[in-house]
Amino acid sequence: MPLAVSEIREKNREQEDTRLAALISTGILDTPPEPSYDTITRLAGEYFQADSATIGFADEGRVWMKSCWHQMVRELPRKSSICDMVIAEDGPVVVADISRHPQRDTLLRRFKHIGIASFASVPVRSTAGRILGILTVFYHKPRPEMRPESIRTLESLADMVSSQLELRQLHKTLHGNGSRHRHARSVATANESWPSKADLRQALDLGQFVLYYQPEVDLSTRRIVGLEALIRWVHPERGLIPPMEFIPLAEESGLILPIGDWVLSQACSQIQRWCKEDPRRVSLRVAVNLSARQFSREGLADHVEALLLNTGISSRQLGLEMTESSLIPNVRIAMEVLSSLRRLGVSLLMDDFGTGYNSLNNLQSFPFDVLKIDRSFVTRMTEGDQPLQIVRTIIELARVMGMDVVAEGIETCEQYRLLREMHCRYGQGYLFARPMTAEAVTDLLRLPGRILPDPELAELVCA
């Protein structure tokens, strides 16, 4: 039996209340215009060759703009807005020519003075599918209808907006107690402050540090395409000490500078040795982790250039990994250093993507080639739709920005399968290989085609 008019109104009211509750729980209306979203509006604007692009969130009465690319508008009445059209449609709205649209008068009243002739708008949804806001691209001229693939790309960009809201919430849960470095340091402090600065100094002088290397593979072929250099301390009494137990102190005490220099020169010499044994290994890229302190020093790029010249390796064979938090203390210097490193031709990898406060915005500002998805997202991927969607969005984001993407910390065949399904190109994790000595890596590099055994087969055999 059809619903009575009053029942329809009541039902719509309920839906609107649920929508508003979902919007309020994101906290987005209380924040100033969101810098991270500028990446998305800029991308949408450039990708669709639009004249402007906006992201707005609709409460009961108004549409609040959280990012405007090439537009100054900050808020609008909601009634008869594009947002209302998208909510009524419960999906994308494409208007190829405002002057021929049934709602022509309303649209012209709103847009004529800013010269808008056509637009495409898609919903930004909550995880439960409620429409929180819209992402819209605008044109000064009428445009032919958009193809379905183009609408889907615009929807992917809108998904990034939703994921950014979720990333912040997830970040609060995962890293609410501060960064992992600070955490590791507090553990070290609790353990009677071992090691001391003098211990570290001595370890460096006595040559107690070693580099382990963990393979990075092409997920479709399992070919080793690169290696990440990871420092260890071989302590005569305490055994093998992982970096999180001494890198934070090295950073605090400034010893990270000589330790970092040692890591860089060691990694470059190792690349040289591997290539000497087999020149086909020139396609391998070894990535070294850099800390904040290494950026605030003059001449990092000169130092790297000298190392490349001395060891005779090509800049393509070296990668430098950094977390966004290491770039934040001095953004201006970090930007200069990164640009000169980029000019040298070394690859720049953003490590632990998603764990920083403003990942998306920083990604736009800094010239990275590769984005490494933090292990925490890969681990949670099989826990439900939301974490899976976040990983999907990060992969899509990298694709749109023309960056390579590496998933960190792959431990299970299920994660491996999901990542391949989402077209994640590269990965790294215990499932393929743990960090190991240079000698052990040499054995792996001798495998035909540098292709690692199939972990799915191993699982079948063990089952």
Q: Which residues bind ligand C2E (CB under 6 A)?
A: 214, 230-231, 242-244, 247, 263, 289-291, 321, 351-352, 375, 409-411, 428-430, 435
E-strand ranges in 155-298 read 209-218, 224-235, 239-241, 285-289
The item of Mg ion, ligand C2E, none sharing an interface with residue 214, based on CB under 5 to 8 Å by kind, is: ligand C2E
8-state DSSP, 397 = H
The CA distance from 212 to 287, in Å, is 12
The CA distance from 388 to 372, in Å, is 16
| Contact yes or no for 335/293 (Cβ under 8 A) | no
The item of Mg ion, ligand C2E, none sharing an interface with residue 355, based on CB under 5 to 8 Å by kind, is: none
Q: How far is the CB of 140 from ligand C2E (least distance, A)?
A: 46
The item of Mg ion, ligand C2E, none sharing an interface with residue 84, based on CB under 5 to 8 Å by kind, is: none
8-state DSSP, 348 = E
Closest C-alpha to 389, from 397, 398, 381: 381
The item of Mg ion, ligand C2E, none sharing an interface with residue 430, based on CB under 5 to 8 Å by kind, is: ligand C2E
Q: In the complex with ligand C2E, which residue's Cβ is closer, 133 or 195?
A: 195
The item of ligand C2E, Mg ion, none sharing an interface with residue 101, based on CB under 5 to 8 Å by kind, is: none
Residue 216 within binding range of Mg ion, rule CB under 5 A: no
The CA distance from 320 to 221, in Å, is 24
Residue 325 within binding range of Mg ion, rule CB under 5 A: no
Site pattern 346..385 for Mg ion (x: CB under 5 A): -----xx---------------------------------
Peptide bond into 2 cis (omega under 30): no
The CA distance from 307 to 212, in Å, is 20
Q: How far is the CB of 260 from ligand C2E (least distance, A)?
A: 6
Q: Which residue has the tokens 């991308």?
A: 43
Q: How far is the CB of 300 from ligand C2E (least distance, A)?
A: 13
Tell me the CA end-to-end span of the chain in Å, nearest whole number: 55
The item of Mg ion, ligand C2E, none sharing an interface with residue 291, based on CB under 5 to 8 Å by kind, is: ligand C2E
Q: In the complex with ligand C2E, which residue's Cβ is closer, 291 or 317?
A: 291
Closest C-alpha to 210, from 261, 268, 260, 263: 263
Binding site for Mg ion (CB under 5 A): 289, 321, 351-352, 408
